[in-house]
């Protein structure tokens, strides 16, 4: 018999750094789930990702207090900031350019994010990443 679904929860947790402290602990605990079990499972699944990378995570939890994790690749904005060595995006995107990335870097980011985007085509994925770069005030060269 299938488990009875109780709900879903979306979190953005740094890879390999899930702790019972806020914001993870209260979000998981108030749904009656075992916080330490979640932290161990999340940290084990993200051990191959760069530590500290923000991983969007969808937690599906069931009435028997069990759960399953769907961990996605780190955000495109994180990849772009890392590639450009920038601290943050522009305060006024479209008017102020704060950093630049090359088209080769955009292609690498698109290939890394391809599994989580709604396309199978690398060129279409590049357009999605370019849109993110533009909205952050990043310039794409070459």
**The domain 76-141: what is its CATH number?**
1.10.10.250
pLDDT digits (tens, 9 = 90+) for 29-85: 999 999 999 999 999 999 999 999 999 999 999 999 999 999 999 999 999 999 999
The closest alpha carbon to 12, from 28, 25, 24, belongs to: 24
On average, the pLDDT of the chain sits at: 93
Task: Find the radius of gyration of the CA atoms of the chain.
Answer: 18
pLDDT digits (tens, 9 = 90+) for 117-129: 999 999 999 999 9
Report how far residue 132's alpha carbon sits from residue 112's, in angstroms, rounded to the nearest whole number: 15
- Chain-centroid distance, C-alpha 136: 16
Question: What superfamily does domain 5-71 belong to in CATH?
Answer: Ribosomal protein L11/L12, N-terminal domain (3.30.1550.10)
- Residue listed under structure tokens 């199978």: 120
Ordered by start, the domain boundaries in the chain are: 5-71, 76-141
Report how far residue 6's alpha carbon sits from residue 52's, in angstroms, rounded to the nearest whole number: 29
Report how far residue 54's alpha carbon sits from residue 35's, in angstroms, rounded to the nearest whole number: 19
């Amino acid at each position: 018999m299938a488990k009875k679904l109780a709900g879903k929860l979306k979190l953005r947790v740094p890879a390999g750094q899930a702790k019972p402290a806020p914001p993870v602990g209260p979000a998981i605990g108030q749904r009656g789930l075992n916080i330490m079990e979640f932290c161990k499972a999340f940290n084990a699944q993200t051990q191959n990702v760069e530590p500290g990378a923000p991983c969007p995570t969808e937690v599906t939890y069931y009435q028997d207090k069990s759960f399953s994790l769907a961990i996605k690749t780190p955000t495109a904005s994180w990849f772009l900031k890392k590639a450009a060595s920038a601290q943050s995006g522009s305060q006024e995107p479209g008017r102020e350019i704060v950093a630049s990335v090359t088209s080769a870097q955009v292609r690498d980011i698109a290939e890394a994010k391809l599994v989580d985007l709604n396309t199978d085509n690398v060129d279409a994925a590049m357009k999605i990443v370019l849109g993110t770069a533009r909205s952050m005030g990043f310039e794409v060269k070459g």
